[in-house]
Amino acid sequence: MIMFALGLLVLALGGAAYAYAGGADEAAQKRIAAVAKPSAGRASRGGAETNAVRRKNVQALLKDIEKKQAENKPAMTLRRRLDQAGLGETSVRKFWIASGALAAVSAAICYLSGQTVMVIALAAFGAGFGLPRWVLGFLKARREKKFTNEFAAAIDVIVRSVKSGLPTNDALRIVAGEFRDPVGGEFKRLCEAMKLGVTLEQGLKRMHESMPTTEVGFFAIVMTIQQKSGGNLSEALGNLAAVLRDRKRLQGKIRAMSSEAKASAGIIGSLPPGVMAIVYLTTPAYMSVLFTEKVGNLLLAGCVVWMGVGIFVMRKMINFKH
CA angle 67, 68, 69 (to 5 degrees): 90
Residue 37 within any structural domain of the chain: no
Residues sharing a CB contact under 8 Å with residue 98, sequence separation 6 or more, in sequence order:
132
How far is residue 245's CA from residue 93's CA, in Å, rounded to a whole number? 40
Q: Residue 74 domain-assigned?
A: no
In-domain check, residue 7: no
Question: Is residue 184 domain-resident?
Answer: yes
pLDDT tens profile 194-218: 888 888 888 888 888 888 888 888 8
CA 204 distance to own-chain centroid: 14
- For residue 212, whether the previous peptide bond is cis, meaning omega lies within 30 degrees of 0, is no
Quote the pLDDT of residue 105. Answer: 92
- In a domain? residue 34: no
Residue scoring higher pLDDT (10 or 235): 235
Banded model confidence at residue 299, pLDDT cuts 50, 70, 90: confident
Does a structural domain hold residue 104? yes
Closest by CA to 158, choosing from 146, 140, 170, is: 170
**What is the C-alpha separation between 59 and 65, in angstroms, rounded?**
10
Per-residue pLDDT, averaged over 27-54, amounts to 50
Number of domains into which the chain is organized: 1
Examine residue 39 and state whether it is found in any structural domain, yes or no: no
**Is 242 a member of any domain?**
yes
Computed over every residue of the chain, the mean pLDDT equals 78
Mean pLDDT along residues 297-305 = 86
Residue range of the domain that includes 141: 84-318
Instruction: Please tell me the distance from the alpha carbon of residue 316 to that of residue 255, in angstroms, as a whole number.
Output: 14
